[in-house]
Amino acid sequence: MGKFGIAVFFVIVVVILTAGFLWFVNSGNQNGTITPANSASGTSSNTVPMLVLSTPTGTAPAGSQSISDGTITLTYPTTDFGLATSSQQITTRSYIPPCDADFSYCLYYTGTAYQGTNFDSAGIRVEKRTDLTTQAACLTTPPTGFANFTPTSTTADDYAVSEFTPLGAAAAGHFAKGALYRLEYNGACYEFETRIGQSQFANYPSGTIQRFTDTDEENLQAEIVGILNGIALPSGETVIFPQ
């Protein structure tokens, strides 16, 4: 092959590789990947096709954002919560993170109501459990790390829910409380784990901070549960989890 033939060959190779790369980029932008709201970078490095951002409809309050997988729709207030698909996108920093690191989605608390207290973090971890393929498995399989854990379950006309509580964690003067909820609908299993983390108030010098009170915790928990109990099904019906 002469020099001219070699040059033509390399031009053809470059054209083919460029076309393949452009096809890959364009197809990747159509696969349902979300760009999280209130994230640190504003973009997602993960391909996570479960939920996509949508505009809230109906009676959703101003300042809300909805995410949906085409079946369930979850609406949250962007004034108090951000959405992340990786730990790097969580803009708040805490000893105990708002969601375990292996999450697919994390709704994490970004509000300022508890600044200056021993409040640490709060969040809702969202997962679609494709490994739990029956209603019984979805509702009764214990959370990871637990061998025996009996949930509270409720069955409605077209969906079923369960709650595993309490869940907790503690480390180096910090602790967290939470619960794990499951929703089974039309053969799909969704998992939501809530968490509120605090630092030990007694570890701070007297007068340097205010206490994150039981009432504060109850108010934040009510806000978190309100998000879960606002999950909408295709019929418009909202899910009610056991409490």
Does residue 132 or residue 146 have the better pLDDT? 132
10 Å CB burial of residue 126 (0-12, 13-18, 19+) is buried
% of the chain surpassing 90 pLDDT: 66
Does residue 104 or residue 179 have the better pLDDT? 179
pLDDT of residue 187: 96
Q: Average pLDDT, stretch 163-174?
A: 91
% of the chain surpassing 70 pLDDT: 74
Q: Average pLDDT, stretch 116-129?
A: 96
Those residues whose C-beta lies under 8 Å from the C-beta of residue 156, and which sit 6 or more positions away, are 240
Scanning the chain, the segments in alpha helix (DSSP H) are: 3-28, 135-140, 214-228
pLDDT of residue 36: 44
pLDDT of residue 40: 34
Q: Is the pLDDT of residue 231 over 50?
A: yes
Q: Average pLDDT, stretch 195-208?
A: 96
Question: Over the stretch 5-55, which tens digit does the pLDDT of each residue have?
Answer: 444 444 444 444 444 433 333 333 333 333 343 433 333 333 344 566 665
Residue 137 phi/psi, 5-degree rounding, is: -65, -40
pLDDT of residue 115: 96
Q: Average pLDDT, stretch 217-243?
A: 95
The mean pLDDT value of the chain amounts to: 82
What are the extents of the domains in the chain? Answer: 1-30, 34-228
Closest CA to 73 of 235, 242, 225: 235
Does residue 161 or residue 51 have the better pLDDT? 161
Q: Average pLDDT, stretch 75-92?
A: 95
Could you tell me the pLDDT band of residue 70, with boundaries at 50, 70 and 90? very high
Distance (Å, rounded) from C-alpha 54 to C-alpha 116? 34
Of 5-14, 69-78, 208-217, the one with minimum mean pLDDT is 5-14
Does residue 21 or residue 99 have the better pLDDT? 99
CA-to-CA separations, 206 to 146, 202, 203, in angstroms, rounded: 38, 8, 9
pLDDT of residue 55: 56
pLDDT of residue 19: 43
Q: Average pLDDT, stretch 178-193?
A: 97
pLDDT of residue 54: 61
Q: Is the pLDDT of residue 117 over 70?
A: yes
